[in-house]
Structure 1
Amino acid sequence: MKQLHKQSSYRRDEEMQISQTPAYSPKSLKHSRSIQRSISYLLREQRLLFILVGILIASTFFVIQPSLSRLSSDSSSSVDPRHGISAGIRDSIVSYNNRGDAGRKYGDLVGRSPYINGVGRVPVGIGRKRKRVVVTGGAGFVGSHLVDKLIARGDDVIVIDNFFTGRKDNVVHLLGNPRFELIRHDVVEPILLEVDQIYHLACPASPVHYKYNPVKTIKTNVMGTLNMLGLAKRIGARFLLTSTSEVYGDPLEHPQKETYWGHVNPIGERSCYDEGKRTAETLTMDYHRGAGVEVRIARIFNTYGPRMCLDDGRVVSNFVSQAIRKQPMTVYGDGKQTRSFQYVSDLVDGLVALMEGDHVGPFNLGNPGEFTMLELAEVVKETIDPGATIEFRPNTADDPHKRKPDISKAKEVLNWEPKISLREGLPQMVSDFQNRILNEDEGKGNK
């Protein structure tokens, strides 16, 4: 019994010793060992001394460097590393830049560099920045001339065209140019591009073409404009809509100002084009006001020149084609209705001036010289064939009786006005038409 009592008491004492012993923790042991190893690593081979010396050198550099910069800027012969020009010249430039118009001219000279205010970088080459531009309908009559101008000034141009009225021949001379791209695409379907500017010209513009499929014409004006505005919004591009004088309908105001709201038949045969363009203008302004898109609106009046479609139903191309083919010139109605005709190069200059300017518009772009249809027929006869005859036919529905632009706004704001008169521009168009009509296929209307 005594022996059993001793064994039990011995076990209790052993259990008490075990309970008082702290629990083993491998993490705490590893942590203490890692700290000891780190300290010993720093103290070994004078590593701590090297770290302190490095910190001292770096601190000295950051303290001394600003002083050196100030000394450098005080020297008139020193060169500012940001500008690439001497500080003395830079101070003269800043002073020059603060003198109104003179400063603005300097800003134009250096590509409007923001470095005058201490931010940005002066470009290596002096001159305007090359832009990346998309032109919808760029293989058409007006579009191809616009593309020529943009390429000539050094821009990269992407043409989008479904070739409904556009012709590959209009841009074939650009196909080898590295700054030109051609995409066969219908703007009714979305497209994603990275560009700086969008000239939206895509839409059949002659009665023959836009009446051929009026629903398609409406889709092009509405869905096509929506798609291109959406693209402009996503990529931050500036957007220019080519609207038309047809938004004024059969006007009760003469000449027509941009403030005139028009007199349009919303359910007529021409409404697919007239109202389509009016809707496109509405969409453009809503994207501008609601989404902050940079937009421009041009209302184009009758335009003529080389590369027009031969048989598109427009009066100038009709008269010229008929006179060259020795056919009677068809005058609809009594021939007293009036139009104003601008040469295509004048229009292109106006579109570029509008895009590069700071004003939304709309702007009338047209030649205020007014001609009746009979007067136009006489000018065509003088230019092509004095013996050409005239044939009268019933007038078409909703044909405007008068059309003449008031371009005072474009003159004042854009510093633009047409330079080429009808008698100067018509011979150049006639020469182009003669070459194409004499071609065995072109005279038959084939592309």
Structure 2
Amino acid sequence: MIRWINNTLGTAAFEDPATAGHEVLDVRSLVDGPANGVAALRERIEAGLTMLQKSGRLIVCCDYGISRSNTIAAAILARREGISFDEAFATTQLQTGEVRMDYGIVQTVRATFDAPNSQPAVAGRVLVTGGTGFLGQWLNRIAGDRFEFVSHRSKDIDLVASPFGLDAVVRKHRPDTIIHLANPRIYNTHEVVGQSLAMLRNVADVCHQHGVFLVWPSSWVVFSGRKNEGEIVIGDDVSPMPYGNYAMSKALSENMLDYLSKAGHIRACILRMTPIYGKGSSLPRFLFRTAEACLAGTPVTTHCYRNGRPKLQLLHASDAAQALALAAAKRPEGKFNIGSMEARTTQDLARIIAEVLGTPFESQEIQLQASVANITLDTTKARNVLQWSPKMNLKEGFEEMFLSQ
């Protein structure tokens, strides 16, 4: 199928029968990625312009009609119409419906048009993906006076589909750091694994292209498969053992950043955080179910597993945001555990909530024939390198969450 950009210029796969009888520019000699030389790119663009001028109609073809064909077609459109490559590229995407073009070849073709961007990154300017979400709002509240934040909502940039929206924002604002908070909205399906990896890879590619440092929050759930080891303390360099789709997405994302870092593709800081709570979030849901039971005067339901009562190392959002801010300021590479002072059983947490709400406490415990991962993250490295430590105690955190207006 030929996808027409305008009345004279289209793209297709080279072996598509629909191209028969049309003037065809074959760009299969080019490769995806950033490896093409400027001379080879310009030769194909100039050849396309000459063919289009002679025949009046041209189809640009690569193997699948996706990356090389559409990128070169955009360049031909830009030259023929006297417009910027970015404008022509946006038109090509809109008219063809193709957003999956290879990021590397697009950047090299752009470089044949534009003088290299001599504007350096702005020190202290931080781009936050998903910046209007729960943690993004806390980050702005905690550190908004220390950084120049550029926040974008997840719905403004489709990070799953391609890196091009983020690339345009980075080229416009020139941040020196990206804090990547955006996540798939639904986080417990098989699909979330692929979406999370696609989002992070697109962010990482943009960071590589522009020399931007990446700060990314992972989660304690990468260790959620450690269910038969009793209560254990986990250091920063312990290998993940995930259980469930959300945990798998975080663990695989950590691995991907490790590979990219070792290859010199990116500089990144991973903050592995325990469960985050605070005003503005509906998680962890156990806290809210407990508050509802206390206010209704009904028993709080907790569980006991084969290997003991579950414990949570709750981290207030203000402390999580402070860790993100310190990572953006200090820009250390590697993994850092971020968690509260200690893990508390769900019964202990329920008692504190009842005390905060001023209600009697009554509980009922259900025995479960399964094991639970009781993990405590060792935060020594974060304290030493980031000079970070949690400030909010549980009672104050619950007061802020349940009693403040």
**TM-score category (smaller protein):** 0.5 to 0.7
User: Normalising by structure 2, what TM-score?
Assistant: 0.61
The match for 1:215 is: 190
Amino acid in the other structure paired with 1:301: T
Q: What runs of 5+ residues in structure 1 fail to find an aligned partner? A: 1-128, 163-183, 436-447
Match for residue 150 of structure 2 among 145, 151, 157? 157
Specify the SS of the correspondent of 1:362.
Answer: strand
Q: What runs of 5+ residues in structure 2 fail to find an aligned partner? A: 1-121
Q: How far 1:345 moved relative to its partner? A: 1.0
Distance 1:324 1:303, change over 3 A: farther
The match for 1:375 is: 348
Distance 1:378 1:407, change over 3 A: same
The match for 2:46 is: none
Q: How far 1:197 moved relative to its partner? A: 1.4
Q: How far 1:340 moved relative to its partner? A: 1.1
Across the aligned residues of Structure 1 and Structure 2, the Cα RMSD in angstroms comes to 2.6
Specify the SS of the correspondent of 2:216.
Answer: strand
Q: How far 1:322 moved relative to its partner? A: 4.4
| CA distance in structure 1 between the partners assigned to 2:331 and 2:191 by the alignment | 33
Match for residue 239 of structure 2 among 242, 258, 261? 261
Distance 1:295 1:362, change over 3 A: same
CA contact under 8 A between 1:137 and 1:201: conserved in structure 2?
yes
| CA distance in structure 1 between the partners assigned to 2:176 and 2:273 by the alignment | 23
Residue 202 (1) aligns with residue 175 (2): no
- The 5 A counterparts of 1:57-68 are none
The match for 1:224 is: 199
Specify the SS of the correspondent of 1:286.
Answer: helix
Structure whose residues are more often strand by fraction: 2
Amino acid in the other structure paired with 1:411: R
Deviations 1:224-274 (A, max 9, x none): 111111111122111111110011124337211112224434xxxx2x111
| CA distance in structure 1 between the partners assigned to 2:353 and 2:372 by the alignment | 21
Amino acid in the other structure paired with 1:254: I
Q: How far 1:388 moved relative to its partner? A: 4.6
Deviations 1:188-235 (A, max 9, x none): 122222132111122269xxx522xx1332133211111111111122
Amino acid in the other structure paired with 2:312: R
CA contact under 8 A between 2:299 and 2:362: conserved in structure 1?
yes
The match for 1:419 is: 391
The match for 2:212 is: 237
Amino acid in the other structure paired with 2:238: Y
CA contact under 8 A between 2:269 and 2:334: conserved in structure 1?
yes
| CA distance in structure 2 between the partners assigned to 1:360 and 1:243 by the alignment | 14
Distance 1:185 1:391, change over 3 A: farther
| CA distance in structure 2 between the partners assigned to 1:228 and 1:389 by the alignment | 48
Residue 331 (1) aligns with residue 309 (2): no
Larger radius of gyration: 1
User: Normalising by structure 1, what TM-score?
Assistant: 0.55
Distance 1:329 1:157, change over 3 A: farther
The match for 2:65 is: none
- The 5 A counterparts of 1:264-279 are 264-265=242-243, 270=244, 272-279=245-252
- The 5 A counterparts of 1:261-340 are 261-265=239-243, 270=244, 272-309=245-282, 312=283, 314-324=285-295, 328-333=299-304, 336-340=309-313
Q: How far 1:302 moved relative to its partner? A: 1.6
Match for residue 380 of structure 2 among 398, 408, 422? 408
- The 5 A counterparts of 1:134-213 are 134-162=127-155, 184-190=156-162, 191=165, 192=167, 193-194=169-170, 195-203=175-183, 209-211=186-188
Q: How far 1:423 moved relative to its partner? A: 1.5
The match for 1:349 is: 322
Aligned residue pairs total 271
| CA distance in structure 2 between the partners assigned to 1:288 and 1:431 by the alignment | 44
Point out which structure has higher relative CO (alpha carbons under 8 A, 6+ apart).
2
Deviations 1:126-149 (A, max 9, x none): xxx663322222232222211333
Q: How far 1:379 moved relative to its partner? A: 0.5
